[in-house]
Copies of this chain bind each other. A is one copy, B any other.
């Protein structure tokens, strides 16, 4: 890490701390006004954003980015409208700061409240999608946090143009512009500087592929909200309803294969298989999914033989691993060994079996008779999310504005002394 990055990090970090102190008691109306004004600015400045995006696309083409990356990078009027709509949606959410999370009285007359407060300063490190500039900036601001954004070098100009709109929003509402800072350099050393900035940053949220998240989790000295992989399992129990099971399995795998809530492994109880046969797998094959099957399931025409490393693997593609298991305990044992603590779903009509699955697994999200594709802050009703976390501390599952909060205790007495 070079001296220049350390100096820049200290400057940005100190400014963020000062902004955070002010944001902590900014009124809900003021934060809402800033986000609405930012949405207006994004739409008004759409041509400037598209021009900036054109520079990034030219740079990306020169660098030979994959077509998937080029697609993530590309903006058009529809996507810009989506960014503005996202800002308005966060603006309209309930303000999470100051919520009374718990309160009680003590026999000596003390009244104790636990109230939500901002976390402080959030660092967001992301890759090619320029819309994260607006989404992450908005959620952090809603929760009263200052944010330091470090976008991908590919989206440098697009992120800058969107950031300018966020600043316009802050100015319009009379909030400090340092509330949402964008690292003004493509220098990769700044990522290292952010990961070590325990004095200046309270939590880091990486947004991107496994390479980025893995780097952040390995190197960060600052706490991290993230999931490395979404190796989501669907288990079809002996007591599953066949029609529900067919519907959910197909949706969990095929609705969108590139998101972290997509199912990567189908576990079928031997009793279910004895009664219903290959129908779940035949549905997947008919939908064009490559089914990597183990043991007896390989006898089903159209499947391919699973390799050992196909279990515990995140395909993010039209591929699924499949295996027979002995009841819910077999499914639990498999998931404990191969899961990533993200999301698993059980298909069963048996309450006791579902309860056992819910009790004995400790993934961030456990589902019954529902598609793993619901693992999403929007689908949970949280408005937007900055990501999904699989750690045990503070934030798990979808991370929205509520999860970007900390808390403090307020204690009210009447000259009360401790005996």
Binding site for B on A (CB under 8 A): 21, 24-25, 104, 106, 110, 112, 117, 119-120, 202-203, 223, 241, 243-245, 247-248, 250-251, 255, 336, 354, 358-360, 362-371, 373-374, 379-381, 392-394, 396-397, 406-418
* Chain B residues within 8 Å of A365, by CB: 408-409, 411
Which residues of the partner chain B approach A364 to less than 8 Å between Cβ atoms? 408-409
User: In the bound complex, how far is the Cα of B367 from the Cα of A411, in angstroms?
Assistant: 5
- Return the 7 tightest CB-CB contacts between A and B, nearest first: A244-B415, A370-B413, A251-B417, A394-B394, A373-B418, A367-B411, A370-B416
Q: What's the dominant secondary structure at chain A's contact region?
A: mixed
Please tell me if the beta carbons of A408 and B106 are within 8 angstroms of each other in the complex.
no
Contact of A374 with B411 at beta-carbon distance under 8 Å, contacts A362-B117, A392-B406 already known: yes
**Complex: A380 Cα to B105 Cα, angstroms:** 9
Evaluate contact between A25 and B359: CB separation under 8 angstroms: yes
In the bound complex, do residue B418 and residue A406 qualify as a contact, i.e. CB atoms below 8 Å apart?
A: no
Known pairs A24-B360, A370-B417. 16 more at Cβ < 8 A?
A: A21-B336, A21-B360, A25-B360, A110-B370, A110-B379, A112-B381, A117-B362, A241-B415, A354-B412, A358-B410, A366-B409, A368-B412, A369-B416, A370-B414, A379-B418, A393-B393
Known interface pairs A392-B202, A412-B369. Does A374 touch B418 (Cβ–Cβ under 8 Å)? yes
| Cβ of A95 to closest chain B Cβ, rounded Å | 14
Selected contact of A413 from candidates B255, B367, B393, CB within 8 Å: B367
Identical copies in the complex: 2
Closest residue of chain B to A20, judged by CB?
A: B362
The chain B residue sitting closest to A246, CB to CB, is: B415
* Cβ 8 A contact of A371, one of B241, B243, B247, B416: B416
Instruction: Flag if B417 contacts A248 (CB, 8 Å).
Output: yes
Q: Which residues of B lie under 8 Å from residue A244 when comparing CB positions? A: 414-415
- The distance from the CB of A120 to the nearest CB of chain B, in whole angstroms, is 6
Residue of B nearest to A225 (CB): B393
Give the residues in chain B near A368, CB-CB below 8 Å.
Answer: 410-413
Can you identify 15 A-B contacts, CB atoms within 8 angstroms? A24-B359, A106-B380, A203-B393, A223-B223, A243-B415, A244-B415, A250-B417, A354-B412, A366-B409, A367-B410, A367-B412, A369-B413, A370-B412, A371-B413, A393-B394
Residues of B within 8 A of A371 (CB): 413, 416-418
Give chain B nearest CB distance to A118 CB in angstroms. 8
Give the complex CA separation of A245 and B336 in angstroms. Answer: 57
A406 / chain B contacts, CB cutoff of 8 Å: 392-393, 396
Chain B residues with CB below 8 A from A104, complex form: 381
- For A117, the closest partner residue in chain B by CB is B362
Give Cα A407–Cα B25 distance, bound, in whole angstroms. Answer: 28
User: How far in angstroms is the closest Cβ of chain B from A115?
Assistant: 8
B393 near A119 with CB under 8 A, answer yes
- Contact partners of A336 in chain B: CB under 8 A: 21
Minimum CB–CB distance from A354 to chain B (whole Å) comes to 8
